[in-house]
């Protein structure tokens, strides 16, 4: 099937898409960095993206061996073995985290939250590390896993962060997840240093007390997935995606992503196949042409800013934004 190109003047197609969303019952949403740019968080690859502008986040961008670090290299797995890049990486991640904490969700985030409130949302899979989804009420805690199917309990993850999160730290050795806001860790990372892992430190102390050999401790690092790394909970993510596919999703919504990352592309194609098998459609909202390789996978490419598209959707389907009942912490409430 040909991929249909939809512009802001394609009123008939935009209405068809709005009708599909209103009728859909199990919507899988997959998002990229573009949904957060209007909140003030840069994407990576665009003209004003992080690969180009990372220096503005660094206090002394030329202070690392007298030359500015390559921003793209800072998100490769080898960053931890590079004495030039590692301090810049820690400072950059700390400053990005602080920016993300101040940002408010965009109209697109609010729309995703509305899909959840209408019990239409199967799950969100995001490449973003800002965790803005939490600010519209979605659970991003991967440790919840699938939970139960009882919507009243809200004990399952609603948004899977495929590339981790800037808001937690993780030990490079034992995998312990740790708070960034404890034991002056933020001031440590802001200065370009790696905080020690408290669990490893305690284990080493216990070993020495028993007369055993002192081992090398792990260090805390931002809990994000770099290029060349695998998500530490990849098996659980595979279980969640397989479960969501088995529940027969009827619409796939892909928002503001360039579709360049291999792992993300694989998941998109798996969900697209499942949605097509269930008679549903795959919709991409992004200003960049996905290319001919996506013909037969994507049914509609909406060439538009995602927030603007959401505003248009709201005008076409105002009933989707009216007050509806949803379940929260075991009780019904109005939203």
Query: Which of 11, 84, 163, 167 is an active site residue?
Result: 163
- Is 197 annotated among the ligand-binding residues? yes
Pairwise CA distance, residues 79 & 224, whole Å: 13
- Is 200 annotated among the ligand-binding residues? yes
Active site residue 163: yes
Cβ neighbors of 129 (< 8 A, separation 6 or more) are: 161, 163, 164, 165, 166, 224
Pairwise CA distance, residues 291 & 257, whole Å: 13
Q: To 10 degrees, the CA torsion angle through 58, 105, 313, 333? A: 170
Token pair for residue 129? Answer: 């590390």
Pairwise CA distance, residues 197 & 175, whole Å: 9
Pairwise CA distance, residues 121 & 311, whole Å: 19
Residue with tokens 């699938």: 146
Mind telling me the catalytic residues? 163
Binding-site sequence positions for Zn(2+): 171, 174, 197, 200
Binding site, residues? 171, 174, 197, 200
């Amino acid at each position: 099937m040909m991929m249909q190109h939809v512009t802001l003047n394609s009123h008939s197609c935009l209405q068809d898409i709005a009708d599909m969303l209103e009728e859909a019952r199990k919507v899988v949403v997959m998002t990229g960095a573009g949904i957060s740019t209007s909140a003030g968080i840069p994407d990576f690859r665009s003209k004003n993206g992080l690969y180009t502008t990372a220096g503005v986040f660094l206090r002394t961008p030329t202070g690392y061996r007298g030359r500015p670090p390559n921003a793209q290299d800072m998100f490769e797995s080898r960053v931890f073995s590079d004495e030039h890049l590692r301090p810049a990486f820690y400072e950059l991640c700390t400053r990005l985290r602080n920016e993300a904490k101040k940002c408010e969700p965009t109209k697109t985030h609010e729309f995703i939250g509305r899909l959840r409130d209408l019990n239409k949302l199967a799950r969100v899979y995001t490449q973003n590390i800002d965790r803005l989804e939490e600010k519209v009420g979605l659970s991003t805690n991967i440790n919840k896993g699938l939970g139960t199917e009882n919507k009243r309990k809200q004990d399952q993850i609603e948004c899977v962060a495929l590339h981790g999160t800037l808001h937690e730290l993780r030990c490079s050795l034992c995998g312990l997840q740790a708070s960034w806001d404890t034991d002056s860790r933020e001031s440590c990372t802001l200065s370009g240093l790696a905080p020690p892992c408290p669990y490893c430190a305690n284990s080493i102390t216990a070993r020495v007390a028993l007369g055993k050999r002192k081992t090398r401790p792990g260090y805390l690092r931002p809990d994000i997935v770099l290029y060349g790394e695998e998500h530490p909970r990849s098996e659980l993510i595979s279980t969640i995606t397989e479960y969501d596919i088995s529940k027969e999703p009827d619409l796939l919504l892909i928002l503001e992503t360039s579709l360049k990352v291999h792992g993300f592309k694989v998941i998109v194609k798996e969900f697209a196949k499942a949605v097509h098998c269930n008679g549903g459609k795959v919709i991409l909202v992004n200003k960049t042409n996905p290319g001919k390789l996506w013909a037969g996978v994507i049914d509609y490419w909406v060439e538009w800013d995602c927030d603007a598209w959401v505003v248009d959707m709201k005008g076409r389907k105002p009933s989707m934004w009216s007050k509806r009942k949803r379940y929260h912490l075991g009780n019904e409430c109005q939203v």
